[in-house]
Structure 1
Amino acid sequence: MRNLSEARLTSIWRIIVCVAGGLLSLVQMASAQPLTDSDTEQVRRGEYLARAGNCMGCHTTRGGEPYAGGRKLNTPFGQFVTPNITPDKETGIGSWSGEDFWQALHYGKSKDGRNLYPAFPYTEYTKVTRPDADAIFAYLRSLPPIAQTNPPHKINPPYDNQALLYLWRKWYFNEGVYQPDKSKSDEWNRGNYLVQGLGHCNACHTPRNVWGASQDDQLTGGKIMGSYWYAPSLISPLEAGVSEWPVEDIVELLSTGINSHAVTSGSMATIVRQSLQYLSDYDIRSIAVYLQSLGEKKGDAKAPRKARKMPEQVRQYLALGQEVYEKHCQDCHGQSGEGIPKIYPPLAGNRNVTMSPPLNTIRNVLYGGYPPATAGNPRPHGMPPYQHFIRDTEIAQVVSYIRNAWGNRGSLVSPEDVDNSRGSEF
């Protein structure tokens, strides 16, 4: 009987504990502060802004969890690893405040006050407004926390010295939120803000000095640090300047990755796929309006020199390239390099083909590629890689040919140029 009474008491006690736990949960649920409409709107706005800045593109490694970091960025100064920015308290930014996040974005300083390396583009993000920074932080705080410890940076000496980084910031970092130009339209200013600030286009489309600092903020083009792609000038009509394009054509290229004039490839195709295609009609048009306002007209640019009479050796070299073109390229790009609009890009008159350096054209032949799959171009036509079945000599010949056929004028390409264009894919 005693054992039976003890068993009953134990059961009753368990029931009491369960009921008490349930009541406690109900009390906690009742006392929790639900998200207000204002909070929800801020999170939604932050998600949009994070997409506009392509934050996930850097803070997500291939096959990894979104925003958990771990992506390796190779530079001449060492290898940087992007951090976890999910709200995990141990490995992410779960213990950060809005002020901490603003300090990183605007001042380039970590939560502990340590100077951040400009592999994180705070040199551009400093232009982002405080309300936009707060919205992005609210969105990141709304994400599921992911416990992921990423490996440390591998910075080459002496660049791992914080004293040198302090001097670098003194010389090359100008902190300050974007100030609108009152002489310009709201649309132009919005485009300028997105391009120069949140979109950090200058991080790629600018030449850099030996210390890795942007030499200007005019989008004059440059080799993308740590990659084997060239980000063309957005000013020069001989590269990727669009001052003479209709705004609608610029919008189409940025939002779909392709139009009747051009197609995006390499790093830019990734930006279109991950970020630009999701921007609002107003924002993408604002970017187009701003880009259209930059640079020179074709008539202002230095006219290309007339082609000299080719030496016989050069003529023979290009003739060999023509044979490769007719065998492998002509079916898609046409006998006269005319292409098929919005399917296969034209090569005749194509600035991407003729610009210096010829890096992007060589890599497109080596590795092939597709325009980005976007809502406006969901089934893009692509080009296969050719490095597996034609030699570097033939690639050099065919690239030289298309850079000098149908009125194109470009430098010749050597097999050494082809070999030097190889590198890690994104």
Structure 2
Amino acid sequence: MPSLRHLEALAVRVLLGASCAVALACVSMAGASAQTTTSKADAATIKRGEYLARAGDCVACHTLPAGKEFGGGRPMDTPFGTLFSPNISSDKENGIGKWTAAEFYTMMHTGKSRDGALLYPAMPFGSYTKVTRADSDAIHAYLLSTTPVHQPNRPHELRFPFNQRQLLLGWRALFFKEGEYEPDPKQSAEWNRGAYLVEGLGHCSMCHTAINKLGGNVSSKAFEGGLIPLQNWYAPSLTSNKEAGLGDWSIQDIVGLLHAGISDRGAVYGPMAEVVYNSLQYLTEEDVRAMSVYLKALPQRSGDTSEPPSPAVTEARNNLVPLGKKVYDAECAVCHAAQGQGKPPHFPPLANNQSIEMNSAVNPIRMVLNGGYAPGTFKNPKPYGMPPFAQSLSDVEVAAVVTYIRTAWGNHGAPVTVKEVNELRSAPLY
């Protein structure tokens, strides 16, 4: 993250045993001890699996809004048709109740289903292949402990030839590298833990790396940001690029954004708000910090830098800015302050805000049109919201105010066109 998170099967049982046989009394005592030990171990494994499933945000794709947890059936629109997430509850007929731990790990590790069928990459097996066998087994144990949902799986609705799974062999050859995460001995344990979570269960690259026409991530632009297809939200760069990434963010600011959904640098909305709500807020402070340390250390790349404005762009900006300032002063300044400094953490600053200045103006346009709330989290249970202005502002006024906030107070964003605003008016919220 919303972000596409799609697991397609699971099932495991952890059985721990103990043996003792000397005298009848000893056997009896050992048996009772073994039962207690096994019960505790199973409960601990299931609890750990629940935590890891949260880290992987499995519920986001495998649960319909207001539906039964892990019952599947959630539609995922793609440029190639619609995919429907499978039932991954413990149901033996429709879910994954008959899967073994080994079959589940094979699916996670290789991107192949129980019957050998190739999985579509909406299921992020390119990231999940990095998950260890122990963690895979724990997730499996947890999902087997969930309530069975008797909901049949819905077949995908993909256009020809994309409904021919064998074509995925070519895709996999180009974009999939199988293998568990290998720690970097040159880095700290904290960095490696963060890398494991970000690159593996978190599958952050699914949204934060540009996707090409074949639906694959462009590895040379890893974590540099990109438009999420058909959702019309832009996932920003996570690299250390100071112009468009996390280069001048503190670790604490990154932790705040991931764990609470807000920090002094900004707040999350759109698909990322769902990721924080369903997943990241449940992680420990140590794990979120480890992710932040890893992200902060990502190498600076070209990222989303802006070119110097052309005369035509400068003219467009100058034409829109007076109206934009008028709208801003009337509608926005009360929360974001006269000079765009905001009132952190609840009302994020707009001045010197990379998400405002990116080449893509999708996110600020959508926020003005649709408004939104940061997620309600343990650390921010009563989030402040941004009201929608789609009904009260015209396309011209929205273009003007977004142009103003992208170019005022030292910001270096480009002007927004009326056409861009009009095209996003009908965009789905998620």
Q: 1:159 aligns with which of 151, 159, 162?
A: 162
- Aligned partners of 2:314, 2:97: CA distance in 1, in Å? 67
Alpha-carbon spacing, 1:96–1:400, altered in 2? closer, same or farther (3 Å): same
Distance 1:363 1:232, change over 3 A: same
CA shift for structure 1 position 150 = 3.2
CA gap of 1:248–1:311, structure 2 versus 1, over 3 A, is closer
Which position in structure 2 is the counterpart of 1:25? none
Picking from 385, 404, 408, the partner of 2:407 is 404
**What is residue 8 of structure 1 aligned with on the other side?**
none
Q: Distance in 2 between matches of 1:221 and 1:307?
A: 24
Q: Percent identity?
A: 45
Aligned counterpart in structure 2 of residue 147 of structure 1, from 129, 146, 150: 150
Q: Name structure 2 gaps, 5 residues minimum.
A: 1-31
Q: Is the 8 A contact 2:305 2:359 kept in 1?
A: no
Distance (whole Å) between structure 1 residues aligned to residue 314 and residue 172 of structure 2 = 51
Change (3 A) 1:136 1:314: closer
Residues in 1 aligned to 2:304 and 2:211: alpha-carbon distance in whole angstroms: 23
Question: Which residue of the partner structure matches residue 258 of structure 2?
Answer: 254
Residues 89 and 96, structure 2, Cα contact 8 Å, conserved in 1: yes
Q: In 2, Cα distance between the equivalents of 1:173 and 1:297?
A: 22
Give 2:322's aligned residue: 319
Name the residue aligned to 2:243.
238
Larger relative contact order (Cα-Cα within 8 Å, sequence gap ≥ 6) = 2
Letter in 1 for 2:119: L
For 1:347, the equivalent position in structure 2 comes to 350
Question: Which is higher, the Rg of structure 1 or of structure 2?
Answer: 1
Q: For structure 1, which segment, 285-294 or 316-325, has the greater mean C-alpha deviation from structure 2 after superposition?
A: 316-325
Q: How does 1:121-136 map to 2 (within 5 A)?
A: 121-136=124-139
Asked whether the equivalents of residues 406 and 412 of structure 2 are also in contact (C-alpha less than 8 Å), the reply is: yes
- Secondary structure of 1:79's counterpart equals strand
2:186 to 183, 186, 196: 183
Q: Relative to structure 1, is the Cα distance of residues 226 and 211 closer, same or farther in structure 2, using a 3 angstrom cutoff?
A: same
Which AA in structure 2 matches 1:373?
G
1:74 Cα deviation (Å)?
A: 0.6
Structure 1: 5+ residue runs without aligned partners? 1-29
Checking the alignment, whether the CA contact within 8 Å between 2:194 and 2:293 is kept in structure 1 is yes
Q: Distance in 2 between matches of 1:270 and 1:346?
A: 22
2:279 maps to 1:266: no
Does the CA contact (< 8 Å) of 1:60 and 1:67 recur in 2?
Answer: yes
Q: Provide, for residues 140-179 of structure 1, a one-character-per-residue CA deviation record: whole Å limited to 9, x for no partner.
A: 0001111011321111111111221122112221110000
Structure 1 residue 304: Cα displacement? 7.0
Q: Is the 8 A contact 2:320 2:399 kept in 1?
A: no
1:25-424 equivalences in 2 (<5 Å): 36-216=39-219, 218-235=222-239, 236-239=241-244, 241-296=245-300, 305=308, 314-421=317-424, 422-424=426-428
2:5 corresponds to? none
Q: Deviations over 1:46-86 (max 9, x none)?
A: 00000011001111111101111111111101111000000
8 A Cα contact 1:250 1:288, kept in partner: yes
How far did 1:245 drift?
2.5
**Whole-Å separation in 2 of the counterparts to 1:277 and 1:214:** 26
**1:276 corresponds to which letter in structure 2?**
L
RMSD: 2.2
C-alpha displacement at 1:199, in angstroms? 0.3
Task: Judge conservation of contact 1:243–1:295 (CA < 8 Å) in 2.
Answer: no
The one-letter code sitting in structure 1 at the alignment partner of 2:270 is G
Question: 2:369·2:388 contact (CA, 8 Å) conserved in 1?
Answer: yes
SS at the partner of 1:324? helix
Deviation at 1:306, TM superposition (A): 8.3
Q: Is the 8 A contact 2:304 2:358 kept in 1?
A: no
- Contact 1:70 1:83 survives alignment (8 Å): yes
Q: Distance in 2 between matches of 1:243 and 1:213?
A: 26
Q: Relative to 1, partners in 2 of residues 1:78 and 1:398: Cα closer, same or farther, differing over 3 Å?
A: same
Evaluate the alpha carbon distance shift between residue 307 and residue 113 of structure 1 in structure 2; reply closer, same or farther with a 3 A threshold.
closer
Change (3 A) 1:163 1:376: same
Q: CA deviation at 1:305?
A: 4.5
TM-superposed deviation, 1:243: 3.2
Inter-partner Cα distance in structure 1 for 2:236 and 2:257 = 15
Alpha-carbon shift at residue 196 of structure 1 (Å): 0.3
Q: Distance in 1 between matches of 2:225 and 2:276?
A: 18
Q: CA deviation at 1:420?
A: 2.3
After TM superposition, give the deviation of residue 237 of structure 1 in Å.
2.1
- 1:401 Cα shift? 1.0
Structure 1 residues 172 and 301 mapped into 2: Cα distance closer, same or farther (>3 Å)? closer
